[in-house]
Chains A and B, each alone.
Chain A
Amino acid sequence: MDKTYKDTDLREALRRKYADTPKLPADFMTKMRQQTEPEPARKVTLWRWVAAAACLIIIIGIGVTIVSIDRMTTEENLTAKQVKPKPVGTSATVYPKETDCLPSLNSQFTQPKLTVQTGRTIVQQAPKAQKSDVKAPAQPIVEPVAVDENLHYAAYVPAEESAYQAPSRMDEFITKLADYNKVKAVTLDCIPDDGDSTVVSTAYVFEDKQELDLFGRLLQAACWYDSKTPGYLLTFSHQQFFFTLKDLRKNEKYLWMAERIIGGRILLYSTHSPIETSVSSACFQEYREQLTHTNMSTLQF
Chain B
Amino acid sequence: MRQLTEQQIVEAVRRGRCEGQDAMVCRYAERVFAMIVRQVSDVMDAEELAQDTFLKAFSHIDSYDPNKASLSTWLCRIAYRLTLDFLKRRRPPIVSIEDSEVWQTDISDEQLESELSSGREERIQRLQEIIDELPDEERMLLTLHYFEDRPLTEIAYITGIEPGPLANRLYRTRKKLLRRLKIED
Contacts and interface: CB of A to CB of B under 8 A. Distances in A.
Given A14-B146, A24-B30, A25-B47, A6 B128 contact: no
A15 B147 CA distance: 7
Contact of A32 (B38, B43, B51): B51
Interface stretch (B3-11, B72-80, B93-101, B116-124): B116-124
Interface residues of B, number: 47
Interface in B87-145: 109, 112-113, 116-120, 123-125, 127-128, 131-132, 142-143, 145
A10 B47 contact: no
B128 A36 contact: no
Contacts of B146: 7, 10-11, 14
A7 B174 contact: yes
Contact of A36 (B55, B118, B163): B55
A4 B21 CA distance: 35
A12 B113 CA distance: 14
Interface string B30-61: 10011001100001001100110011001000
A249 interface: no
A216 to B, nearest CB: 38
Contacts of B131: 13-14, 17
Nearest to B155: A2
B50 A28 contact: yes
B147 A1 contact: no
A24 B33 contact: yes
B12 interface: no
B19 to A, nearest CB: 12
Contacts of B149: 4
Given A24-B29, A32-B25, A10 B116 contact: yes
Contacts of A31: 47, 51
Interface string A144-180: 0000000000000000000000000000000000000
B70 interface: no
Contacts of A13: 124-125, 127-128, 131
A2 B153 CA distance: 7
A229 B30 CA distance: 67
A27 B177 CA distance: 39
A208 to B, nearest CB: 38
B151 A4 contact: yes
A63 B99 CA distance: 74
Contacts of B167: 1, 3
B82 interface: no
A194 interface: no
Contact of B163 (A1, A6, A10, A18): A1
Interface of A: 1-18, 21-25, 28-29, 31-33, 35-36
5 contacts: A2-B151, A7-B112, A29-B29, A32-B21, A35-B51
A-B pairs with lowest CB-CB distance, top 10: A13-B127, A2-B151, A7-B116, A8-B117, A14-B147, A24-B33, A13-B128, A12-B124, A11-B146, A5-B113
